[in-house]
Chain A
Amino acid sequence: MPRLPPALLRQAHSISPQLHALLPACRDLQSARSELRWIREHALSSSSGAGQPSNRHGNAAVARLVARRARGEPLQYVLGSQPFGALDLRCRPGVLIPRPETEAYVVHLASLLLRARKALGAAAADGRPLRVVDVCTGSGCIALLLYQLLHRGFPGAGSLRVLGLDVAPEAVALARENLERNVRRGALPATALEGGDVRFAQADLFSDGEWNSAVGQRGGEIAGVDVLVSNPPYISTQGFDRDTGRSVRNFEPRLALVPGAGLSQGTACAPEDVFYARLLKVSRVLRPRVMLFEVGDMEQARRVAQMATGLEQSEQWHVEIWRDDPDLDGNDGLREEVLNGRRIPVRGSGHGRSVFVHRVPELVT
């Protein structure tokens, strides 16, 4: 990590010593300034609940938070929350912090699904709901935001059901907490909680028994799934040491970032791609119509897209690669990839971020 120029540190100190303290963690003055402001606002709003505290008390609270952030702890853990779409999600050590890129593709996916609502809702006409499963849900961000964005298009309790699965019990607990918190704040409708429209369960994707019982079998036949979404761990061991940010490496759970070493034994794919291979295998049983998986970069996106082209009845499946912002034009001429002799459209701008696989003709744009 490059050293910060002493002039910059001096400048920060002349503005405020707290800014100077934040600078090594934030790396530039602009973001240090913003973070200091958010920390101050947070200290102000959390203390104002208990009457008017003395100024000194507020200052001490700010100083404590600044000290934690200065040690490199992610701001989201320091403040205990992260806005995600219209939701406000709690963040705790041990569970991955929701990323803005995730927000971008979830919003884009939701707008596509709403546009193709009629085609997707055809199944719902016979009383069957649109079923969404989010594997490796973590804080519950994808599951909750998808429900928030889609519930207007699928009105009535029980016509949209979202299930979030995670192997870590602390993640499942946090996701449930986030569900209750956002229902209480009015960001999510009450049906999400009371109607059981959104549920979270602990299940290991690699254990057939666990996810089968979590997704729910009826009379030996697995109830279908319409949309399968996942933001699984996808960083390689070398990538974890080399490419990740310091606050990510030191404070976020490795379990959510790097696939376990034991999982790739006996498979042909790279260790960081093992979750995608497993998800595609599971999809043969669940038979989803739409799948979206987050990936680390364009390289990985190509590998996952290639795997997806190998699905059964591959001519039915449309595969796309989405970049960081699927709805903004990249203006760099990267429009498609050719894999296995098939044209794979590449949408948006930024890094390769997710792979979108579906067999709904109405979703083709």
Chain B
Amino acid sequence: MFATQWVCRRCTLALTRSPIRPARPAHATKPLRRPLQRPLQQLQLARYAGTDSSNGAAAASNLPPALLQRARGMAAEHAELQAALADSFDPKAAKRLGELSRVATALAEWEAAQSSIAELVSMLSSPDSEADPELRALAHDELASTHAQVETLSTALSASLTPRDPFAELPCLVEIRPGPGGQEGRYFADAVFKMYRAYCARVGLRVNVVKYETLDGPEAQGGAGNEVPIAEAVLEIMDTGAYDMFRGEAGMHRVQRVPSTEAKGRTHTSAVAVWVLPSFPETLSTEMENDFNDPSSDFYIDPKEVRSEKMRAGGAGGQHVNKTESAIRLTHVPTGTVVSIQDSRSQHRNREDAWKLLRSRVAEQRREAREEAAASLRNTVLSRERITRGDKIRTYNYQQDRCTDHRSGVDVHNLPNVLEGGEMLDRLMASAKDWLVARDIRALVAEEEAKAAEAESGGKNGKKGRK
């Protein structure tokens, strides 16, 4: 019956439930939509059987009216601004226009698809088409493909409505630190570091090791392969948009394996924290330069609030000695953030790297604080699922040769490929990103619905008040 040897129970269920697509009914156009749409939905359910069913594509297949309304409102504003800008240029309006255009184009495409569906349906129902079977068949085919298109377009539309991450376009810094769990966590931190470095090399992203601080301990002894215990590593990914690619990687990465230092063969569980911070590209665009000096920007740091210290060699200095190290430590006094860098031979590079790291850390802290405030205002949908640094997001299990992403529920085998930054890591990262988008959409829907409900009850209260 099947080409495959076995099919898991859920897939079988999903497949058996979906009716085999009936031959195109030659009559009655009304029920036509259902048989076409249902198998699609159900197949999708089969695909996402492992995860929660309200995932991105499924949630977006029937676009909530609240979202549609919001999109229409934004598109109207877009048109208005465009008209205004035709007369006189205003940089603020132009910026807003750029933000809105994403929604406007997505909505336009979605509406075009909707109208073509309506047209096709009316064409099918018109008496003329009865006479021409060839035209009918064509219209049927067209309708099926348009329906499929609407699916993707509505996902795109809801995704475009979600607030765009302010740092999405930026390069990023990936900070890796061992969690609690002793030496084993430090060895695994090295494995994670090498995984991301190899991934970037494979995908073709430019990286720069900003900091690679090892702890005293024998090299290439613990862990698997040539792992070195590290205290902290910072990898800079210099391509634009890297923050968007890597933001799903932030969180606790858990490892379950038998450390090579373990004599009795017991499995240890330890964790590594990965933080993804936005960073600045080497050459600043003018817009970013403004950001840099704008006190309201997340990246703004008042130089007066930073205490910088240099490590000095003992003795007279100057011509008397030639030291090779030039460590610099920066302290951002209001937040207590401390950065110390001594990785490069160049004093100049160390200083720049330290500033970059400090700026990124402070910006991320500010954003987190802001999101925290926003999340506590919204209802529980978002706050429950927010990833904080404390939650584990992924498990690397060496015995079972498995890597699981806990948010998307995706399991992949072939762990060595993951740790080499291979295609399996791609899959995990893509699933995490999908999950993030789906989460944003859900939060948005919840927010819109809450707003609508509030408006409704507010209206009622208002009436009551008037009585």
Question: Which residues of A approach B to under 8 Å, CB–CB?
Answer: 11, 14-16, 29-31, 33-35, 38, 74-76, 82-86, 96-97, 99-101, 103-104, 231, 233-235, 239, 243-245, 247-248, 252, 256-257, 294-297, 324-325, 328, 350-351, 353
- Min CB–CB distance A304 → chain B (angstroms): 13
User: Which of B316, B318, B319, B348 is A83 in contact with, Cβ under 8 Å?
Assistant: B348
B268 an interface residue at 8 Å Cβ cutoff?
A: no
A156 to B222, CA, bound (A): 58
B317 an interface residue at 8 Å Cβ cutoff?
A: yes
Query: Known interface pairs A33-B214, A34-B342, A324-B312. Does A74 touch B319 (Cβ–Cβ under 8 Å)?
Result: no
- Min CB–CB distance A296 → chain B (angstroms): 6
A23 to B216, CA, bound (A): 14
| In the complex, number of A-B residue pairs with CB atoms less than 8 Å apart | 100
- Min CB–CB distance A124 → chain B (angstroms): 27
Q: Which of B83-91, B173-181, B320-328, B454-462 forms part of the interface with chain A? A: B320-328
User: Which of B219, B320, B326 is A245 in contact with, Cβ under 8 Å?
Assistant: B320
Q: List the 9 closest A-B pairs by CB distance, nearest first.
A: A83-B346, A245-B321, A75-B324, A100-B347, A244-B320, A100-B326, A85-B348, A351-B317, A243-B316
What are 23 A-B pairs with beta-carbon distances under 8 A?
A: A29-B216, A31-B325, A34-B325, A76-B324, A83-B344, A85-B348, A96-B319, A97-B322, A99-B318, A100-B347, A103-B347, A104-B347, A231-B319, A243-B316, A243-B320, A244-B320, A245-B315, A245-B321, A248-B322, A328-B309, A350-B317, A351-B316, A351-B318
A103 to B323, CA, bound (A): 13
Q: Are A248 and B320 in contact (CB under 8 A)?
A: yes
A29 to B346, CA, bound (A): 20
Q: Are A248 and B326 in contact (CB under 8 A)?
A: no
User: Which of A83, A97, A233 is B349 in contact with, Cβ under 8 Å?
Assistant: A83
Q: Most chain-A CB neighbours within 10 Å: which of B315, B322, B349?
A: B322
Q: Are A328 and B308 in contact (CB under 8 A)?
A: yes
B206 an interface residue at 8 Å Cβ cutoff?
A: no
B295 an interface residue at 8 Å Cβ cutoff?
A: no
Query: Known interface pairs A76-B324, A83-B347. Does A99 touch B216 (Cβ–Cβ under 8 Å)?
Result: no
Q: Are B216 and A11 in contact (CB under 8 A)?
A: yes
Query: Known interface pairs A83-B347, A83-B348, A100-B347. Does A247 touch B319 (Cβ–Cβ under 8 Å)?
Result: no
- Min CB–CB distance B195 → chain A (angstroms): 21
Which chain A residue lies CB-closest to B346? Answer: A83
Chain A residues, CB < 8 A from B324: 31, 34-35, 38, 74-76
Query: Known interface pairs A83-B349, A328-B308. Does A248 touch B319 (Cβ–Cβ under 8 Å)?
Result: yes
A14 to B310, CA, bound (A): 30
Chain B residues, CB < 8 A from A103: 347-348
A14 to B221, CA, bound (A): 11
Q: Are B320 and A74 in contact (CB under 8 A)?
A: no
Apart from A31-B323, A83-B349: 19 A-B pairs, beta carbons within 8 A: A15-B218, A31-B324, A34-B324, A38-B324, A84-B348, A86-B348, A96-B319, A100-B326, A235-B319, A245-B320, A248-B321, A257-B319, A294-B318, A296-B316, A296-B318, A297-B316, A297-B318, A324-B310, A324-B312
